[in-house]
Amino acid sequence: MRETFKEELDTVGNELVEMTRITRSAMSRATDALLDADLQLAETVISGDKTVDQLARDVETRVVELMARQQPVASDLRAIVTALRMSGDLERMGDNTTHLAKIARLRHPDSAIPEELRPTILEMCQIAERLVAKAGTVIASRDVETALELDHDDDRMDQLHRELFRVLLSPEWAHGVQSAIDVTLCGRHYERYADHAVQVAVQVIYLVTGEHAEDLSEVRARSGLMGGEAG
Amino acid sequence: MRETFKEELDTVGNELVEMTRITRSAMSRATDALLDADLQLAETVISGDKTVDQLARDVETRVVELMARQQPVASDLRAIVTALRMSGDLERMGDNTTHLAKIARLRHPDSAIPEELRPTILEMCQIAERLVAKAGTVIASRDVETALELDHDDDRMDQLHRELFRVLLSPEWAHGVQSAIDVTLCGRHYERYADHAVQVAVQVIYLVTGEHAEDLSEVRARSGLMGGEAG
């Protein structure tokens, strides 16, 4: 009975890792669709989001059934609560990629991203992919050290997000209000996507340590967790 | 034992209703802060968000303890899962109001909202408040009919959101890119806030009926739930 429970939890973990894989691929495709004004690619992202939503429901159904079948012990309960939260975050990351793809579709055959912002958006996509890949690793390994690395990557995302606004607000901006709105919304979706990936890591830390944290810097600031670093 | 369980669930329900009250007040104050460039009011919203975050954690801790103490039956499990989801939505609504307040603070002593958009923003706030108030009622009453009403209110929010973009993109727009970015981000926060309120109603419907739905229109479209309306 106990074995089955663990196996079921492993299945939930695998589904969550699968969600990170799909949302990572969606992020990559959504960005290509944005930069290259690729309508067909955008459509694959939009229609593919159903799979992520379905996986999120599968996770929810599975953990509810798990709770119903067996009295879970404290650490199992954490696994259940964090699985629900993580699937929620990953579902929202899927939504973020869908929104990006919809902006690409709306501006087709033009690109929503002006030439001078392509490198910034491309790097935002790279950071987003790195974050979700690490989130997947962390779900599988439950490694707190790796979980804490996401904080650093997310700092870079925030820098790039500010960089977008700097360009939008410079006197050289020559693409008008519509394009500024597109870029603002795109920037927000990359930033939110990254933030949800960080939240996945925060959940894993809670799962492993039982410690709640608003964000990873809070975890870092606490003593003990990083091998005796000052709190 | 059973009685205590029900009482604990009621406490969770009360905490969720309390979260709707606080996030409603925060929405009202954030909007006033935006429209009147009221720095002090903006600060109350930003510092007050801690209370919502704390309530969200209380809900989570309480339901985890509940699960640990007693084997919940199927409908209890739904109550537990939906409580976690609702507290997550309400916490994010608090975040939305904080973001609005931060935009108000950033533009102080100016208002981030140009004169001609004041009526639109004001109505968006009214709809947002109506939605969260209804969400609170629905959490307490578990009334599916009232839950379905949120869909209609949210339609109006979407209209107003589109209206914002129409004004931003009209040839008469005379406030430049910075203001367009501010309005775009504000619009998104009102829209997201409303969407989370609708999600709370969706969760209540799941709690009562056991039926999953992506949104309320999906529920409406299904037969039976509305007293035998065509599916």
Predicted ipTM of the assembly: 0.85
pLDDT digits (tens, 9 = 90+) for A153-186: 999 999 999 999 999 999 999 999 999 999 999 9
Lowest mean pLDDT among B108-112, B116-120, B221-225: B221-225
Q: Is B82's pLDDT higher than 80?
A: yes
- pLDDT at position B1 is 57
pLDDT digits (tens, 9 = 90+) for B202-218: 999 999 988 777 677 77
- pLDDT at position A1 is 58
Min Cα–Cα distance to chain A from B178, Å: 6
- pLDDT at position B4 is 82
Say what angle helices A74-107 and A39-69 make with each other, to 10 degrees. 160
Residues of B in contact with A63 (CB under 8 A): 81
Query: What is the distance in angstroms between the CA of the first residue and the CA of the last residue of chain B?
Result: 41
Where b means 16+ CB within 10 Å and e means fewer, A211-231 reads eebebbeebeeeeebeeeeee
Q: How far apart are CA A3 and CA A9, in angstroms?
A: 10
Asked if B77 lies within 8 A of A64 by C-beta distance, the reply is yes
pLDDT digits (tens, 9 = 90+) for B4-16: 888 989 999 999 9
Asked if A68 lies within 8 A of B67 by C-beta distance, the reply is no
- Residue B102 near chain A (CB below 8 Å): no
Residue scoring higher pLDDT (A228 or B105): B105
- pLDDT at position B73 is 75
Closest residue of chain A to B176, computed from CA coordinates: A177
Q: Measured in whole angstroms, how far is the alpha carbon of residue B127 from the centre of its chain?
A: 10
Token representation of residue B165 = 């973009």
pLDDT digits (tens, 9 = 90+) for A173-226: 999 999 999 999 999 999 999 999 999 999 999 999 888 776 777 777 774 554
Q: How far apart are CA A16 and CA B42, in angstroms?
A: 38
Min Cα–Cα distance to chain B from A148, Å: 21
Degrees (nearest 5) of the Cα angle B128, B28, A184?
A: 65
Min Cα–Cα distance to chain B from A73, Å: 7
Contacts 24+ apart (CB under 8 A), B83-86: B83/B9, B83/B12, B83/B13, B83/B16, B83/B59, B84/A81, B84/A84, B84/A85, B84/B59, B84/B60, B85/A84, B85/A88, B85/B199, B85/B203, B86/B16, B86/B139, B86/B199, B86/B200, B86/B203, B86/B204
At residue B169, what are phi and psi to the nearest 5 degrees?
Answer: -100, 0
CA distances (Å), origin A65, targets A61, B11, B69? 6, 24, 17
Residues near B228 by Cβ (< 8 Å), separated by ≥ 6? none
| pTM across the whole model | 0.90
pLDDT digits (tens, 9 = 90+) for B50-70: 999 999 999 988 988 888 777
Q: For chain B, positions 160-199, list CB contacts with chain A under 8 A.
A: 165, 168-169, 173, 177-178, 180-181, 184-185, 188
Residues of B in contact with A60 (CB under 8 A): 81
Whole-number percent of chain A with pLDDT over 90? 76
